[in-house]
């Protein structure tokens, strides 16, 4: 045996060297085992520990806890209609295959937002079992990049990703096949790669990077364009222009926006189609099938930008553009007697008053919170920002401001009327003259 003697300075350096070597040895194995991001089908899901867990036995969860079961990751958001529609479907699958599968919901939204949503949802759906969920997610969404929700990832009992699908594939038959070891035939969800986009800058001009400061007038129309999402914006932009932008929308939406009232587009409830083939203008499909329908010649992009001095003429200019882009149709706003709902005052027993302050109009499907708002503001919000199937007219004769707190919303008219009655109001079916957007075939 040999003994090595060295100076205190060298001894300290040697010790530090050993500590560094030990640290690298300990850290090397986990790093080596990490999966690349984003993960694809046939990749292995890493054994991550996640926080922000709801409806589970602990506030954190390790993905390794679900080894031996079919794990279905449900990426969702409370504002997403199809996601909310899938809640009872996922609940049913978890019940039916209890002990064999585990559904784990994942959202970027905060725990506070999600608990608030479910406190309202559960009042109308008391039998929900409560699937474990991750809130405030920043990790899993990087592992499984996606541009739309709902988004589902199927992971087998050994931790291997077997499929990435849309909502149509979440069926008992597919789960049974997966559990039996047979890979079901399922359409794989392929999200488009995100492209940087800002509604406050010119669309598709120098890669959406130029300031457009010398632009006097800009009108653009394209076919479906992958990567920039869906929707529309009406705003004064960063270059002192008034801009109407439509991204990957169906034909009907262009007419609804072009005839907007005070910047608010028409809705399904006040649009009439007098055409031979309504299916070219709009579709009832959702999720992946709807995206494919748009991509197959039914989705378009448009942008109109004018100086602020021409803002009042912008919508007329858009209507003129539509005559060129969609010459097979005409559109006009007409006043017609129409079946709708009337908000009426049935009692003055309760004095209506507002405590003042900021106006709040939170008219959700399960709860209404109103502060310092008029009846006109409530009706406008219902007609243009909520998912009602019919228009609402104001027949109350009440012009003041008021506060209301209702434990029901527009998803249940009977329950909503029961709550409205406490304030002396009711929503009743009537025939009333309202302005409708009428889209016709051009003769």
pLDDT at 107 over 60: yes
Burial class from Cβ neighbours inside 10 Å (0-12, 13-18, 19+) for residue 433 reads: exposed
User: What percentage of the chain exceeds 90 in pLDDT?
Assistant: 72
Is the confidence at residue 1, as pLDDT, over 90?
A: no
Once rounded to an integer, what is the mean pLDDT over residues 376-400? Answer: 88
Check residue 24 and give its pLDDT.
42
**Residue 128 pLDDT:** 82
pLDDT confidence tier of residue 322, bands split at 50, 70 and 90: very high
Question: What is the pLDDT, as a whole number, of residue 335?
Answer: 96
Note the pLDDT tens digit of each residue in 188-215.
Answer: 998 777 777 788 877 777 777 666 667 7
405 three-class SS: strand
Region 428-432: mean pLDDT is 96
Give the pLDDT band of residue 15 (cuts 50, 70, 90).
low
**DSSP H/E element including 396:** none
Mean pLDDT, range 377-386, rounded to an integer: 86
- The answer to whether domain 49-180 has CATH 3.40.30.10 is yes
Name the band, by pLDDT with cuts 50, 70 and 90, for residue 23: very low
Residue 213 CB burial class (10 angstroms; 0-12, 13-18, ≥19):
exposed
Q: Is the pLDDT of residue 27 over 90?
A: no
| Torsion sign over Cα 304, 310, 311, 316 | negative
CB 430 within 8 A of CB 342: yes
The mean per-residue pLDDT over the stretch 206-231 comes to 83
pLDDT of amino acid 29: 35
**pLDDT exceeds cutoff 60 at 20:** no
Give the tens place of pLDDT for each residue, 121-154: 998 888 888 899 999 999 999 999 898 899 999 9
Calculate what percentage of the chain has a pLDDT beyond 70. Answer: 90
- Which DSSP letter does residue 169 get? G
Alpha-carbon torsion angle 125, 127, 132, 134, nearest 10: 10
Task: Please name the residues in contact with 402: beta carbons below 8 A apart, sequence gap of 6 or more.
Answer: 352, 353, 354, 370, 372, 373, 374, 375, 423
What pLDDT does residue 3 have?
A: 43
Q: How far apart are the first and last CA of the chain?
A: 105
Beta strands, E only, 136-175: 151-155, 161-165
Structural domain boundaries of the chain? 49-180, 217-327, 336-435
pLDDT for res 139: 93
Is it the case that residue 36 has pLDDT exceeding 80?
Answer: no
For strand 101-106 and strand 70-75, is the pairing parallel, antiparallel, or unpaired?
parallel
| Whether residue 400 has pLDDT greater than 70 | yes
Q: Which of 44-48, 225-229, 387-391 has the lowest mean pLDDT?
A: 387-391
Average pLDDT over residues 46-50: 92
22-36, 50-64, 258-272, 329-343 — most confident range: 329-343
Contact 165, 175 (CB under 8 A): no
What does the pLDDT look like over 258-317, one tens digit per residue?
999 888 899 989 999 999 999 999 999 998 899 999 999 999 999 999 999 999 999 999
Residue 212 has a pLDDT of 64
Average pLDDT, the chain: 88
What pLDDT, on the 0 to 100 scale, is given for residue 389? 81
pLDDT digits (tens, 9 = 90+) for 354-365: 999 999 999 999
pLDDT value at residue 209: 60
How would residue 71 be classed by pLDDT, with cut points 50, 70 and 90?
very high
CA distance 275 to 255: 14
Tell me the whole-structure pTM to 2 decimals.
0.74
| Inter-CA distances, 141 with 36, 73, 148, 180, 394, Å | 13, 11, 11, 29, 45
Q: Which residues contact 79 (CB under 8 A, 6 or more apart)?
A: none
**Residue 22 predicted with pLDDT over 90:** no
């Amino acid at each position: 045996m040999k003994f090595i003697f060295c100076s205190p300075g060298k001894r300290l350096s040697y010790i530090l060297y050993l500590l560094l070597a030990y640290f690298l040895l300990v850290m090397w194995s986990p790093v080596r085992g990490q999966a690349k991001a984003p993960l694809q089908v046939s990749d292995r899901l890493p054994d991550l520990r996640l926080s922000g867990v709801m409806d589970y036995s602990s506030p954190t969860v390790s993905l390794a806890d679900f080894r031996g079961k079919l794990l279905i990751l449900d990426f969702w958001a409370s504002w997403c209609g199809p996601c909310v529609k899938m809640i009872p479907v996922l609940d049913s699958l978890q019940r039916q295959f209890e002990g064999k599968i585990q559904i784990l919901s994942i959202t970027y939204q905060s725990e506070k937002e999600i608990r608030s949503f479910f406190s309202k949802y559960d009042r109308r759906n008391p039998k929900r079992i409560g699937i474990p969920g991750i809130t405030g997610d920043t990790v899993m969404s990087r592992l499984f990049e996606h541009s739309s929700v709902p988004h589902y990832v199927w992971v087998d009992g050994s931790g291997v990703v077997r499929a990435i699908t849309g909502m149509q594939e979440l069926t008992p038959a597919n789960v049974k096949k997966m559990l039996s070891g047979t890979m079901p035939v399922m359409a794989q969800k392929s999200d488009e790669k995100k492209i940087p986009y800002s509604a406050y800058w010119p669309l598709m001009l120098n890669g959406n990077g130029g300031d457009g400061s010398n632009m006097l007038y800009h009108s653009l129309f394209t076919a479906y364009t992958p990567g920039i999402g869906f929707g529309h914006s009406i705003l004064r932009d960063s270059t002192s222009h008034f801009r109407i932008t439509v991204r990957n929308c169906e034909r009907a939406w262009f007419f609804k926006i072009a005839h907007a009232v005070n910047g608010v587009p028409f809705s399904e409830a006040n649009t009439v189609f007098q055409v031979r083939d309504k299916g070219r203008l709009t579709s009832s499909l959702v999720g992946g099938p709807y995206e494919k329908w748009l991509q197959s010649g039914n989705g378009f992009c448009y942008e109109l930008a004018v100086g602020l001095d021409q803002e009042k003429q912008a919508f007329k200019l858009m209507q003129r553009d539509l005559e060129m882009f969609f010459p097979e149709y005409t559109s006009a706003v007409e006043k017609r007697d129409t079946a709708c709902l009337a908000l009426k005052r049935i009692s003055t027993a309760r004095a209506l008053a507002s405590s003042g302050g900021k106006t709040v109009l939170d008219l959700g499907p399960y709860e209404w919170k109103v502060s310092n708002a008029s009846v006109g503001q409530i009706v406008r919000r219902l007609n243009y920002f909520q998912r009602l199937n019919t228009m609402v007219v104001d027949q109350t004769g009440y012009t003041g401001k008021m506060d209301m707190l209702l434990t029901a919303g527009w998803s249940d008219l009977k329950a909503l009327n029961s709550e409205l009655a406490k304030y002396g109001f009711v929503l009743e079916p009537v025939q009333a003259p309202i302005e409708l957007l009428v889209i016709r075939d051009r003769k």
